[in-house]
Structures are given as C-alpha cells and as structure tokens.
Amino acid sequence: MLRISPTDTPPAPMAAGQGWPLFSTAATRQIERDCARRLPPHQLMERAGLAIAKLALAIAPHAQRIWIACGPGNNGGDGFEAAAQLKAMLPHAQITVSEVRTPAELPSDAQISRDKARQAGVQWLHDAPVDLGSQDLCIDALLGIGLSPRPLDKASAAELRLLQLLAQVRQCACSVLCVDLASGLDADTGQYLREFAPGHIAARQARHTLALLTLQPGLFTGQGRDACGQIWWDDLGCGIAGTPGTTNPAAARPTAHLNTRSSASSSARPHDSHKGSFGDVAVLGGEGLGLRGLSMTGAAWLAALAALHAGAGRVMLALLDEALAQGIAPWPEIMLRRPAAQDWGQATVVCGCGGGEAVQAWLPHILSQAPQLVLDADALNAVAASPTLAQQLSQRAARQHGTVLTPHPLEAARLLETSTTQVQADRLQSCLQLARKFQCTVLLKGSGTVVANPRQQVWINASGNARLATGGTGDVLAGLIAALWAQDRSADMAAIEGAFRHGQLADRWPADRPFSASALAMRLGEQ
C-alpha cells in the first residue's frame, strides 16, 4: 500500500516530470474487469476488503467502534468485505454496517461479501440511526467511482437512502476513510455532481481515501483534494497499470500523470559556467498610476524577482510606466529597461504581470518577436478580448516560437469564451482545449494545477496549499517558469517543474515565518 504525497517519487521506470499514471473511470473499469478475469472468483473483492481493513487499523489503531456505510454496487461490496475482515481482526470491537439495497439487488460478488460479514458477527443498523458521536472511524463505501446521478425528483427509495447515509458520513466527527473516492465526487473531473454536493462536512474531520487498482484525476484536482484528504493507493497485486516495465492488464492508457517531484536542483552548475550559460529573462508589465490611477508595478517586480532567484543568468525588467523605470531598482541585480530599448527577440519573455490596459499596445510586437514567451494575467485578458491577438498567438507555433499560458480559471474562461463554472467543471478538458486552440503549453492554476500541451499530454501537480491563495503568487510562478525555460528546460517541463517547486515551497513553509509572494520568490533559490 502506498501513501501518495508531494514527496513521493514515481516508480523507477518513470521519467522525472512524468509521474504517476492517472486513469479515467472507463479505463479503471476496464482494468478491473480484466484483473477479475485473471483471478479466482471473488478474490479481487477479498483483496480490496483486506486492504481497506488494514488501512482502517493503521488510521485508527485503537478503534472499538467502526461504522461502514455500504452502497448499492461493488464499492459497497468492498465495504462488506472490509467489515468481515475487521471483525476477524477486532473480535471484541463493534463493527456496524448500514446498507442501501436489499441483498437480492446487490451484484453477486457484493452478495457473497455481505453474507461473510453477517456470518462474522457484524451488526446491521437497517433503518436505525447511526450514533455519529461515538464512532472511532467511519468508512465511506457508498459510491466510489460508481457515480450515476439521477434527478432527485425521480430518485428511488434506495437512492434517497444513499443520500441520507452520505449526509451522515459527512456529519461524523471521527476520521473518515473513503473507498476509491469520496462519494459524490466525479473521478474524472474532481467536482461534485450537483445532486451529491456536500451541504456540510464536519469541522476538523480527518479524511483519507484508499484508491484501489488505479489512481484517478479527480483525486488530485478541483474539489478532490479537500474531499479525499490523504490519498493512499493499493494496486491489489495486479501490477501498476500503465507504468513502463510492468504488466498493464487492460492495455488502458492514462488520461494524465500526477507530478510529485522536480528534477535535479538548478544549484548543481558546472564550475566552468557564466551568466550567459543560464539564459536571459525579460519581464514586461507593471502599469503605473499615470494611466488609470491603478498601479500594478509590484506584479512585474515579483515576476522578475522570481526569475532572479530561480537562477536565470540575467533578468531585465521593462515597466510599462517609463517614469518608474528611471528610479533605483530595489534589487540592483534586476536591470531596468525601457520597453522600446529591450531586444524582445533575445530572451525568454514574461508578459502581462500587472500590465493592465497598457500591455495591449505592446502585445503585437511581443507575440511576433519573443522566441519563448510566458503570457500571464492582463496579457491573457487582452488576447481574450482581441480576435487579432488571439490569431497571432495561435500562429506562433508555426514559426517555432514557444508559448506557455498561465491562466487562472476566470482568465481561462475568457480565452474559451465560456464561464468559470464550465472551466472548473472539467479542468483537464478545459486545459486541453486551450492548448489545442492556441497550439502551446497551458498551465491552468487552481487546486491541482493542470498542465497540458497540444499533443494531448496532461499533468496534474501534486504540491501546493492554500498559502498560495494570496496576491502575487501567480506572478512569482510566471517568473519561475521563465527562468527554468531559459535554463534549457522544454516549455512543458518548465511549466510542470515550475508548478511543483512553487507548491513545494508553500508546503514546506515554516509555520513561524510570515508568508507573502515576495518572500516566496526570494526562497526559490533555497530549493
């Protein structure tokens, strides 16, 4: 059994930045069917139940009261099997089960495991209320990846019972262990379906999820990270599906990969090197007070500061308010430029950070000249508002000019001419759609940042936390990506590694040190 966290490294055959394979619901079911055919009858469910029981005891080693909510399908069958195993391991503990369907309505494997649980002495609650306050552990085996929503006004009695049990699971004060996936969550998108969206989850409820056979994208992006908590994974002895060098029973292809590490530190540099060995980064942004009375020069400074501390050989900053560019730089290593004086064809360019409306006039020139371009913030908004700029952006790839877009969900919605809700409803597909539309690498920010390219390759970032939900951290990320790209990473790898290092710093942030975007930028060199 494996605990998935931002410090886990993928199996040896996986290349850095490639990461753990993530499979869609359809592919996971295909793999499950193939594994079940290769094993003796019922053995796959027995392995699943044993894995759940072992993890339950690891999470709550002194538990004496465990409640298992079992759903109408094989996820519920795994719960019944776990109940039988737990009763054998803890003969004096109170193991109780609530179920959704009658035995005759269950799949055959689930019926067998239900009978085993009854014979082992597991208690059934039937319609009796659960004593939520006295449980030491709750196991959510209601839905897993077997989500099949129906309008509530057409729901059967069993479906209404399922919703009732799911509400009780969310009200438990004890730790919750979800089987496969937090019930109600879409395994492919990481979003709750409307019918199953939580109205309330108990405060401080520790949540764990045991993914069986495969890992799915929904565990790691959107609402998945909060819903599923600590992720554990057990391939049930069937091999790591999709990993090179191992058996992939159903020959299913991963939908995405989870990146849980960065490559070697940029501090390991050859002795015989100089500043020209590590590339130039030029930042264009920072609308001043003169245009609209809304100064955003700090955003451009943050991007430049991040590029400096991430190891770029030289960093130039061209502020869109030229009056400010005549002052003394707070960081003398960052060279100030007038936009017209900078050679935009000889650097990795970051454009848009704090650019406001002033950046629009410069975008045609930047899009035509920059060989490697990170577009962020107001540059993205300007492209979204101009079909001419959008066409110019999409044509860069044909000239062998590389581009990385770094939108947050609202900026992505503007670029796709849709809503933030639609973008968040399927973050992977939204990111892929942007990558195809503009023929470039796209990094969609948010919980479980997504990176995609036009070749339909997708990565989800495993690092990061809510510390990053503060102004300026996106500008730091843009500068970091540019610095990595300038140091000979590919566009994809610069985005993937940049997202991971950015989040990793937030994960490792000392509890006694105030967090800010500028502090984050200055710590990039410590990794």
DSSP string, 120-174: HTPEE-TTSPP-GGG-SEEEEES-TT------GGG--HHHHHHHHHHHHHHH-SS
Band (pLDDT 50/70/90 cuts) for residue 15 is very low
Dist CA 434 CA 508 (whole Å):
31
List residues forming the annotated binding site for AMP. 445-449, 474
The answer to whether 305 and 286 have CB atoms below 8 angstroms apart is no
pTM of the predicted model over 0.75: yes
Between 195 and 444, the higher pLDDT residue: 444
Rounded Cα distance, 136 and 338, in Å: 64
Indicate if the pLDDT at residue 146 is higher than 60.
Answer: yes
CB count in 10 Å sphere of residue 412: 28
Percentages helix, strand, coil for the chain (3-state, rounded to 5) are: 40, 15, 40
Q: What is the mean pLDDT of the chain?
A: 90
Binding residues: 299, 352, 408, 445-449, 474-475
Range of lowest pLDDT (140-149, 334-343, 389-398): 140-149
74-89 and 43-59 are packed helices; what angle lies between their axes, rounded to 10 degrees?
Answer: 60
Residue 250 confidence (pLDDT): 44
Given a cut of 70, is residue 55 above it in pLDDT? Answer: yes
Q: What pLDDT was estimated at residue 133?
A: 86
Residue 383 has pLDDT above 80, yes or no: yes
H or E, element range at 494: helix 491-507
Residues 6+ apart with CB under 8 A from 325: 317, 318, 319, 336, 337, 338
pLDDT surpassing 80 at residue 502: yes
Q: Give percent of the chain with pLDDT exceeding 70.
A: 89
Binding residues for (6S)-NADPHX: 299, 352, 408, 475
Flag whether pLDDT at 241 surpasses 60.
no
Pairwise pLDDT comparison (90 vs 101), residue with the higher score:
90
